[in-house]
Amino acid sequence: MNRSKVSISSKFTALLLIIIALNGYAYYLILQNIYLQELKAQAQTVVGNVEAFGAWVAQGGRVWVKDKSSNSFLSQESFAQLNDSQEQVHFFSKNPALAQREFSEVVAKSSSPAKFRMTSQNVMNPVNAPDAFEITALGKVGATGVVEYSDFVGGDYRYAKAVYHNESCIACHGDASKAPADVISRYGTQHGFGFKTGDLAGVISVTIPARELYKSIWSFIGIKEVLLILSSIVLALWFVRSALIAPIKQLTQAAHDISTGKDTHIDTAGIDVNTKNELHQLTLAISRMKSSTHIAIKKMREAKTAAVDILAKARVAVAKAREDAQDK
């Protein structure tokens, strides 16, 4: 394309559209980063709640419940009621790990979009075995020492936070020979033992459904926003045409008229000679050029008239000289 055939307004419009596209993509990336930080914050909140729940259970070593709900308990204690009935009250114990796993199962069945579980490379309960993402997270934590790892897997945001053994954990996960009998009875002695205080216990793994941002971004944009964007484009185009294109066309026509010797009017009223406006500076310059051109043309015409007069006088003098010569 011959660029000389494209108007400045067309070029500016194309440039404006490119700028809008680049800014739109930049805003998309910003929103994507904000959304990612929001997902991470949600996952960290879930982890914080799970750790707080585990710490509450660990305060007494175990939590005792009346309703066993299932066979998921460590030990059982029965007590006679303080009334005349012969019935006994049964309590079932759960350690922090068991309580947290059952908590995760309840959350998994709830309407909460965020799910979690606890896992390790050395789990007591096979149900808690890590999946592919959790294996990767455990490897990253163990190899690099990072305390958290995240990724998008199958349309979900996956987050893993490292958990380290403290003294209360070692009672059940330290030396198998010193572990509580009910723990050994339930899980055996092959897995989940041999840890020391400060060792990596595993990770709390959180799963949050992730939305595709480009599909949901329209929910942030309404009619008002679209009208504001269109108004800004129209305003920019109006400014270019009224403040730049139209004055340039007028000055171009004036310069053309001056170059062909035509009389033209250049309005310089109200323009300060020290103006910083480039178009005003150009207007003053063309006005001075007009004055200089007119002066030059006037002098040329005067010089031409004088030359014609001199030539005419010379011709008369020559003719008279010839007549005098003939008379002699």
Residue 82: predicted pLDDT: 65
Q: What is the pLDDT of residues 175-218, one digit of tens each?
A: 666 666 666 766 666 666 777 877 888 899 999 998 877 666 66
Residues 6+ apart with CB under 8 A from 158: 133, 137, 150, 151, 152, 205, 206, 207
User: Which stretches of the chain are DSSP H helices?
Assistant: 8-58, 96-109, 132-144, 167-173, 181-187, 213-216, 223-240, 246-259, 278-327
Q: Which structure tokens are listed for 269?
A: 């009223």
Could you write out the DSSP letters of every residue in 101-122?
HHHHHHHHHSS-S-EEEEE-SS
Residue 261 exposure: Cα atoms within 13 Å on the Cβ side: 5
Q: Which structure tokens are listed for 99?
A: 């309580």
CA 255/CA 287 separation, integer angstroms: 9
Residue 162: predicted pLDDT: 92
CA 100/CA 106 separation, integer angstroms: 10
Q: Which structure tokens are listed for 96?
A: 């922090």
Q: Which structure tokens are listed for 309?
A: 């007069």
Question: Which strands, in side-by-side order, build the sheet including 88-94?
Answer: 63-65, 88-94, 76-80
Residue 67 three-state SS = coil
Residue 76: predicted pLDDT: 61
Residue 45: predicted pLDDT: 94
Burial label, 246 (beta-carbon count in 10 A; 0-12, 13-18, 19+): exposed
Residue 214: predicted pLDDT: 67
CA 92/CA 70 separation, integer angstroms: 10
238 residue type, one letter: W
The pairing of beta strand 76-80 with beta strand 88-94: antiparallel
**C-alpha of 48 from chain center:** 27
CA 8/CA 247 separation, integer angstroms: 13
Residues 6+ apart with CB under 8 A from 191: 122, 123, 124
Residue 201 sits at φ, ψ, to 5 deg, of: -85, -35
Residue 104: predicted pLDDT: 86
Residues 6+ apart with CB under 8 A from 147: 141, 161, 162
Low-confidence ranges of the chain (pLDDT < 50): 1-2
pTM tops 0.75: no
Residue 109: predicted pLDDT: 86
CA 64/CA 76 separation, integer angstroms: 9
